[in-house]
Structure 1
């Protein structure tokens, strides 16, 4: 079986990290397949929602320490003319760091379905998603400090935007593990559900989003993320342009008609 599985069913794409014996620690093959899957989602008009999950007893334990030590997988480089440190930097840029950059280009909703553990880069991969739904027994940790590493895949960017600078530094400096309930109170996860309810909850949530007005939802996502980097005037100018576009769509016409007729809208 490949280290990552990708399937699309009823307009919902699912990425499954598939190294259960290693609690889905990253491998070179996994990252290559992850990048390929994200490019497919980004470029598809048929895929409406993406769910990212882990196979086996955990979501993701982060980078594979054995591969780091051996210089294999996504840490490997053939550029013999440069220093080892620069090789590792370039390898991160071309491999692992492609994941957050591609996620930034995806307009469809992305849901992290988290169970077991999400440690280090595994937690960061969940933070890159739009919505994080965690089973109540999940443990979450920025565990880089335990092995003397820095958060190399975007944790230093995403984490303080969710929990604040002080909490982010505490997590990164100590590697403390949090349960799902505490993580929700911190703003680290969106929803916490019972372990035996996780599959059904995520499926129904994904179906709900997939049934929504797609252009309006995608433009709204773009507006929310881009507005974080914009002054108010630019944000309002951006969203007024998108409002002009969506009001010409069939989804808008259907939505207005459904409200008038007091029924649920059926969007394209």
Structure 2
């Protein structure tokens, strides 16, 4: 079986991390397939929602420590792109491979949902922070565990965490490596929703269906407006949003939505 599974059905794409025996720790194959899948989602007009999850007992434990001990890293050593020979090659390997994942996730203008269960540690959890929504089973455990093996948060944690919880709490989580329960993570704003483990799949399916059946152009413009608004002033944001409003109100989804309200029925955005 491949280390990552990618499927598209009914306009919903699913990326499944598939190394259950290693708690879905990263491998070279997984990273390469992940990049390819994200590029497909980004570029496809037929995909409406992306769901990211893990097989087995955990969402993702991050880097594969066993392969690090062997001197292999989690990227193949082919002589030019590796994590073992020189500092420069280690840097370039991260930039070309695993760091492409958060960057690509930020390029996707469709809803991206991370489904967490079991362990979500280190870079595994940080990849979920690059998603739009994080839905966790109640038994999920979360930790910024980089310092356990003496490394820095090289996969986005140092950028994402302060934006969610502030500088002091971000450093506290990174320095102490303490393990958070799903409820604690939700209270800190790191998890969007916590549900009972046996209800997780049903809740996610309903959540994804509501997004997939929504007005797609408006959903994507809304996502862009929220993320772009983090880096611009209010006047610029309003200017951009007014342009988006001009576009969406010419779209058939707007006409259908208004008509449905007048006729007191559920809109059909298919």
Q: TM-score range with shorter-chain normalisation?
A: over 0.9
| SS of aligned partner of 1:74 | coil
Aligned pairs (5 A) from 1:104-115: 104-115=106-117
Shift of 1:164: 1.3
CA-atom RMSD in angstroms:
1.3
In structure 1, the residue matched to 2:146 is 144
The answer on whether the counterparts of 1:132 and 1:191 sit within 8 Å (CA) in structure 2 is yes
Name segments (4+ residues, structure 1) moved above 6 Å. Answer: none
TM-score of the aligned structures, taking structure 1 as reference length: 0.97
Gaps of 5+ in 1: none
Shift of 1:77: 5.2
Shift of 1:166: 1.1
Distance of 1:256 and 1:52 partners within structure 2: 33
Aligned pairs (5 A) from 1:166-245: 166-245=168-247
The answer on whether the counterparts of 1:136 and 1:193 sit within 8 Å (CA) in structure 2 is yes
- Choose which of 86, 89, 102 in structure 1 pairs with 2:88: 86
Aligned pairs (5 A) from 1:44-83: 44-69=44-69, 70-74=71-75, 76=77, 78-79=79-80
> Is 1:98 aligned to residue 100 of structure 2?
yes
Query: Could you report, residue by residue, the CA deviation over 1:149-189 in whole angstroms, capped at 9, with x for unpaired residues?
Result: 10001001111111111111100001000000111000010
| SS of aligned partner of 2:75 | helix
Distance of 1:52 and 1:232 partners within structure 2: 32
Shift of 1:76: 3.1
Gaps of 5+ in 2: none
Shift of 1:5: 0.2
The answer on whether the counterparts of 1:76 and 1:88 sit within 8 Å (CA) in structure 2 is no
Distance of 1:172 and 1:75 partners within structure 2: 27
User: How many residues in Structure 1 have an aligned counterpart in Structure 2?
Assistant: 267
> Is 1:11 aligned to residue 11 of structure 2?
yes
TM-score of the aligned structures, taking structure 2 as reference length: 0.96
The answer on whether the counterparts of 2:138 and 2:196 sit within 8 Å (CA) in structure 1 is yes
The answer on whether the counterparts of 2:64 and 2:73 sit within 8 Å (CA) in structure 1 is no
Distance of 1:45 and 1:79 partners within structure 2: 35
The answer on whether the counterparts of 2:113 and 2:131 sit within 8 Å (CA) in structure 1 is yes
